[in-house]
A = this chain, B = another copy of it.
Amino acid sequence: MDAKFKAINDPTRREILHFLVNGPQNAGQIASQFDMSKPSISHHLDLLKQAKLIQADKKGQFIEYKLDKTGFEVIHAWFKTFSTYFEFPKPKIRIEI
């Protein structure tokens, strides 16, 4: 639990998560999008992995990262504990009969 909130606390890590919405990327591709050393990005990836917000798949010499539903669901569940206090805006639906 702590690891997940810690993971999303950092802006670089949140940006990594957003990049991965467009599909899996390997560590080098991710790092190339930041003005930051590769070891730093590697460390960020490690924290995201520990939080189960991303998954790592080793593909030969490369390591491919993608979003992991597991961690997101846990955060989402925490968030929903506040829905008794106030409802969040929902997408409108329309039913025609």
**Which residues of A line the B interface, CB within 8 A?**
2, 5-6, 8-9, 11, 14, 17-18, 20-21, 67, 69, 72-73, 75-76, 78-79, 81-82, 84-86, 88-89, 95, 97
Contact = CB atoms under 8 A, between A and B. Distances in A.
Contacts of A88: 72-73, 76
A82 B73 contact: no
Please list the 10 inter-chain residue pairs (A to B) with the smallest Cβ-Cβ separation, ordered nearest first. A9-B9, A5-B9, A69-B86, A76-B88, A21-B85, A67-B85, A5-B8, A6-B9, A72-B82, A21-B82
Copies of this protein, total = 2
A52 to B, nearest CB: 13
Contacts of A89: 73
Contact of A86 (B18, B67, B78, B82): B67
A9 B6 CA distance: 6
A46 B73 CA distance: 29
A17 B82 contact: yes
